[in-house]
Structure 1
Amino acid sequence: MELLINIDVDDLERGIGFYETGLGMRLARTLFDGTVAEMHGACAPVFLLAKPPGTFATTRSDSRRDYARHWTPVHLDFVVESLEPAIERALGAGAELEDWPRDFDWGRQAMLSDPFGHGLCFIEWKGDGYGANAER
């Protein structure tokens, strides 16, 4: 199975800039008449999809795209070598810090949002990371 991550953005160039500058990804190619940017640098490709605000999210829903901060049960976690420099880099590129770094037995985590309202976390592993809590 292959995993592809798709993220709606209202401004493709700004999205490319954030994911390059803020997260260290790189533009691999553009697709579909320049409306999709394929970004590399993570374990799975991230596709930024140019979708104007106010457009319908699906044909079966009245929900419309809104790029203000929103909550969804799905978000991206980016594992970083060092939390503070990653946070500063992302903030400098337009992210917002939503929760100060917290310490856990598996490592440290900071919660942010990208300039398009999508939640994301930075994780700095300690030891075996989540493996420290493995039950089987």
Structure 2
Amino acid sequence: MELRICIDVDDMERAVAFYTQGLGLQVGRRFKSDFVELLGAGSPIDLLFNAPGSKPIASGPGSESVRNYGRHWTPVHLDFVVEDIDAAVARLQQYGAALEMPVTERVWGRIAGLADPFGHGLDVLEFKGRGYDEILHPH
């Protein structure tokens, strides 16, 4: 089974710059001006242009909702593992990310919480030692 991650954005070129220049992903295919595939993560990420105020679904529960690219919370977010978290955070901020949780030390490494320019939350992680295995089997 393949997992594809879809991210709605309201400015395709800004989104491409944020995810390629900010995180080091590469443009795969450009299907149309409103659909760009990004490669370089564990799963392809599809940037989908959808205008602010448009409805994400036509009917049923949630159909009264409209797209809003201000900061919003959802129980799903993306974690990007990086080699140098300080450089990644600085780069992402340069491309429009808002730092919401400064770099914090954990037993498994370091984490920072950000929001992309489209209101989506994301974390960057820098593992140390055995990464998450440090939680399961501490020294």
* Residues 84-123 of structure 1 aligned to structure 2 (within 5 Å): 84-123=86-125
Pairwise CA RMSD? 1.1
Aligned to 1:79: 81
- 2:42 paired with 1:29: no
Following superposition, the deviation at residue 34 of structure 1 comes to 2.2
User: Equivalent residue for 2:50?
Assistant: 51
Deviation at 1:30, TM superposition (A): 0.9
Unaligned runs of 5+ in 2: none
Displacement after TM superposition at 1:26 (Å): 1.1
Aligned to 2:3: 3
Check whether the contact 1:9–1:15 (CA below 8 A) recurs between aligned residues. Answer: yes
Q: CA deviation at 1:107?
A: 0.8
2:37 matched residue in structure 1: 38
TM superposition shift of 1:133: 2.0
Q: TM-score of the superposition, structure 1-length normalised?
A: 0.94
Residue type at the aligned position of 1:54: G
Shift of 1:29: 1.2
Does the Cα contact within 8 Å between 1:98 and 1:113 map onto a contact in 2? yes
Amino acid across the alignment from 1:92:
Q
Q: Percent identity?
A: 49
Moved over 3 A (4+): none
Please show how residues 54-69 of structure 1 align to structure 2 within 5 Å: 54-59=53-58, 60=60, 61-69=63-71
Pairs aligned (count): 134
Residue segments in structure 1 that go unaligned for 5+ positions in a row: none
Q: Following the alignment from structure 1 to structure 2, what is the Cα–Cα distance between the partners of residues 77 and 42? A: 10
1:70: which partner in 2?
Answer: 72
